[in-house]
Amino acid sequence: MAEGSTTPSVDQGVIVNAVTMVTADDLTELSEVRVVLNKGNPGSQTTSEEGDEATNRRAVWKLVDRDEDTPRLLGRAVLAEFLGTLLLIGIGIGLANPRVLGKLEPGNRILYSPNMGIGASLAVGALVYVGLPVSGGHINPAVSLGLFLDKRISVLRLFLYWAAQFIGGIAGAGLIYVLCNYKDRPSPTTGTVSYDLVEYTYPQVFFNEVFGTMLLILAVYATFIEPNQDLNYLKCIVISISCMIANPMCCINPARGLAFNVITLQKLNSVGASVFGPLFGAIVAAVIYNTVLKTN
């Protein structure tokens, strides 16, 4: 460059091309990072091209998703589902500690029951928020089924999530069983999922599970799938509220419906409804969402 000159001697076209190349590389890296961060959170905002690509990729059910079901990503996601469900079931059963309930007066026990539901529901929202970037924060086999029916996860991921969730739930129930000395109780049924089939019929129990889980899955669809702002903490609050509404009626989680009954070896006649009812509720929610409520 000549002395005193303010005009660069470098070809302007070279500068433009260089900037274009850097921008393209940056966008590629950012896109790859966004795929990882938004795993299990299809409601996050994307560009129109990314949205079209995601829509095409979800056009059919897949046995294995080559982009998302890599050993590293899938392994971390499965571990997150195991730990999340372990904590969820442990908290839910721990809130129903028989040593605490046994010391309460009948009137106070009535007041304590709603607090158990509120505590468990808030735990759901917190655990969903924690697991969201890694696995999607399902922590519920019915939620995984609902997202699979909407082509959000592959067959492989569905079954691995189910295995992690049921094993995690049983591990959480076993942990509480030991730590809270349930084994020393004459009849350690508190914490199991059981309905009084003298007061309720089996179809009524099954319907409660279907209806409650349908509400939860529709809330998941509306918050995490429908296009909206990336306010994930507010979305998790919506999930907690839906759990609070459904919790007095049912367990809305097959892992919860099975875990403590397995640990205590209690063969209760309502367990089938608590396991298969939520799964059927997820199917009903998927049909309603895709035929009536889906906007995109």
d(CA 68, CA 154): 9
- The pLDDT of residue 204 is 84
- The pLDDT of residue 108 is 63
What average pLDDT does this structure show over 235-249? 79
Angle CA 272–273–276, to nearest 5: 80
What average pLDDT does this structure show over 202-217? 89
d(CA 252, CA 245): 11
d(CA 230, CA 170): 33
Least confident of 64-78, 79-93, 140-154, 183-197: 183-197
What average pLDDT does this structure show over 2-13? 48
Contacts of 118 (CB under 8 A, 6+ apart): 244
Question: Rg of the Cα trace of the chain?
Answer: 24
- The pLDDT of residue 240 is 86
Q: Is the pLDDT of residue 5 over 70?
A: no
125-152 pLDDT, tens digit each: 999 999 999 999 999 999 999 999 999 9
Alpha helices by DSSP H, listed for the chain, are: 12-37, 48-57, 71-94, 98-101, 106-131, 141-149, 155-179, 202-220, 232-246, 254-263, 271-288
- The pLDDT of residue 197 is 59
What average pLDDT does this structure show over 88-107? 73
What average pLDDT does this structure show over 81-106? 80
What average pLDDT does this structure show over 161-180? 91
- The pLDDT of residue 17 is 46
Q: How confident is the model at residue 100 (pLDDT cuts 50, 70, 90)?
A: low
Q: How confident is the model at residue 198 (pLDDT cuts 50, 70, 90)?
A: low
What average pLDDT does this structure show over 256-275? 77
Exposure pattern of 105-126 as b/e (b: 16+ CB <10 Å)?
A: eeeeeeeebeebbebbbbbbbb
